[in-house]
């Protein structure tokens, strides 16, 4: 299945245009070399089960995606969690993830005021 998503979305009450996509995560260059090569051998470069392209089908330059990943790493903020801690974020304006951890945890997630395609810019 193919899906085409834009690079930007309009977010929040101020209508800010924000970078909102995961091309850098879904592109085959984000995989380690051996699994990437195995997938290309199995499916062919043009039918990978997970990959990203420009909207016109053109190839993304892995070097450009590396710069996107570097920008995320450079902007990362980390903090120690406290027992019972709560984090509330605007999913359209804040990229988020998690680092490796040990121990147990409980994650409760919810979406509110879900973004609709009608808000796209």
pLDDT 10s digits, 62-76: 999 999 999 989 988
Rounded distance, CA 4 to CA 24, Å? 15
> In the chain, what are the domain boundaries?
8-119
Rounded distance, CA 63 to CA 20, Å? 19
pTM of the model: 0.71
Higher pLDDT, 116 or 32: 32
pLDDT 10s digits, 51-64: 999 888 899 999 99
Rounded distance, CA 95 to CA 81, Å? 18
Least trusted range by pLDDT, from 8-22, 34-48, 104-118: 104-118
């Amino acid at each position: 299945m193919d899906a085409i998503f834009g690079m930007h979305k309009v977010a929040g009450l101020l209508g800010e245009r924000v970078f909102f996509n995961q091309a850098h995560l879904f592109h085959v260059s984000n995989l380690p070399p051996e699994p990437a090569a195995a997938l290309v051998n199995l499916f062919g470069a043009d039918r990978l089960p997970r990959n990203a392209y420009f909207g016109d089908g053109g190839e993304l330059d892995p070097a450009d995606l590396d710069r996107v990943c570097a920008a995320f790493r450079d902007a990362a903020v980390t903090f120690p969690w406290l027992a019972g801690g709560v984090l509330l974020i605007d999913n359209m304006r804040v990229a988020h993830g998690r680092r490796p951890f040990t121990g147990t945890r409980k994650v409760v997630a919810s979406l509110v005021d879900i973004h609709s395609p009608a808000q796209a810019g």
